[in-house]
Copies of this chain bind each other. A is one copy, B any other.
Amino acid sequence: MDSLGFKELTKVDEAVERVLSLLRPLGVEEVSLEEAVGRVLAEDVYSSVDVPPFDRATMDGYAVRAVDTFGASKLNPVTLRVVRLEEGFALGEGEAVEIATGAPLPKGSDAVLPYEDTKRVDDVIEVYKPVPKLGNVSVKGEDVRRGELIGERGRIVQAWDLGVLASIGVKKVKVVRKPKVALFSIGNELIDLDEVDEPLEDKIINSSRFVLKGLLENIGAEVSYKGILPDDPLVIYKAILNSLNNYDVVVTTGGVSIGKKDKTVEAVKRLNPELLIRGLAIRPGKPTSLCVVNGKLIVMLSGYPVASSVGFEALLKPVLGRLMGMKPLPIPKVRGILTRKLVAPVNVRSYVRVRVFRRGKEIFIEPLAVTGSGILSTLTRGNGILVVPEDVEGYDEGKEVDVVLLRGIEEVE
């Protein structure tokens, strides 16, 4: 038994793999392009057309034969006849046809002369500048080839993807359904913010719900906050059982330590879970527990906002990301020098809030309070997180480490 009373703490990566092997897939839905931003593609998307669909003018001007313009200059303009082409006829030598941006190049022409390089007098233009072959022309399929892969399964659709999808005429895309999450807060000591008029002696404002809802929505979940439950296993059991019908995931915060009144694990045991993992090798957040019931995930996070956000980061985020089949977006990181020695327990992955600041040309990393999962203010004081892996016992002062940047680097002096 370690100090928190857990017999054995499960490593995070192991917990993630075990849980994922048991979860039901989320399914797929079709959404319009506008709704697709931030969603995860559920299938590979191939282009069914060439872009452009034909050789196309990229400027307004005259379609010409490039060879007819060679040698043209301001002093020695070339003269071309402006004609109107009948259907099926090709442009002849010394001829030019007016053309608008985006229009197909007429037969016989192979370049577009922009208006500004010409001067028109009646049906004749003076050409002041030669245009090379295919000048101001976008060639059929040069941008996107028919059959080309446009977006692969697992890609998070970003704004600029829509440009390509729209251009090839895709109106809807298949994306992974958002995981629906029911969020409960557990603890007799809790009260909801909107029920507080003045500071109360014996109650703690339920702040984790806001943190968790925000974090879950950030990664694309749909979250319903279901209120505060008392430390009563029967009430907790019934509430979770009820939610399992309508939600993919149940997340609870609180009531999960080894304490007389911590009843969440007792409650979920009544659901006959096919997997129950009690206690994770993360710090803070050791009490973080999880179980799977009928292919649905129940994650029990610590009641403390700092510990619950670490439980989210270490467990919920990778599990939901993988469940959605998501290729994660890159996260901003920075390398800096530790301002003091940092000791971390071995066999546990530690998430240390840090303050990242630049003095002169060097970037420094100052670890904030390592202990005290109740220390809320590190959430707002810190601008980075240093993750210390399980096999590392800590770092010496002056060591260079990589941290995840949550906000901008502070400038000092």
Interface, chain A (partner B; CB < 8 A): 5, 33-34, 37, 49, 51, 53-54, 58-60, 100-104, 114-116, 138, 142-144, 148, 150-151, 155-156, 158-167, 169, 171, 187-189, 193-194, 196, 199, 201-215, 217-218, 257-262, 305-306, 309, 327-334, 372, 374-377, 379-380, 405-409
Contacts and interface: CB of A to CB of B under 8 A. Distances in A.
Given A187-B101, A213-B34, A214-B37, A163 B376 contact: yes
A309 B171 CA distance: 21
Contact of A330 (B53, B58, B142, B334): B334
Contacts of A144: 376-377
A138 B199 contact: no
A104 B200 CA distance: 10
Nearest to A260: B115
Contacts of A150: 377, 380
B115 A407 contact: no
Query: How many copies of this protein are present in the complex?
Result: 2
Contacts of A148: 377
Contact of A309 (B60, B163, B306, B406): B163
Nearest to A211: B163
Given A37-B217, A115-B260, A327 B160 contact: no
A104 B164 contact: no
A159 B210 contact: yes
A162 to B, nearest CB: 4
Contacts of A101: 187, 189, 259, 261
Contact of A189 (B102, B212, B214): B102
B213 A193 contact: no
Contacts of A305: 160, 163-164, 167
A329 B407 contact: yes
Given A161-B380, A305-B160, A330-B408, A60 B202 contact: no
A151 B257 CA distance: 31
Nearest to A406: B158
A84 to B, nearest CB: 16
A18 B306 CA distance: 43
Given A59-B257, A159-B210, A213-B34, A202 B167 contact: no
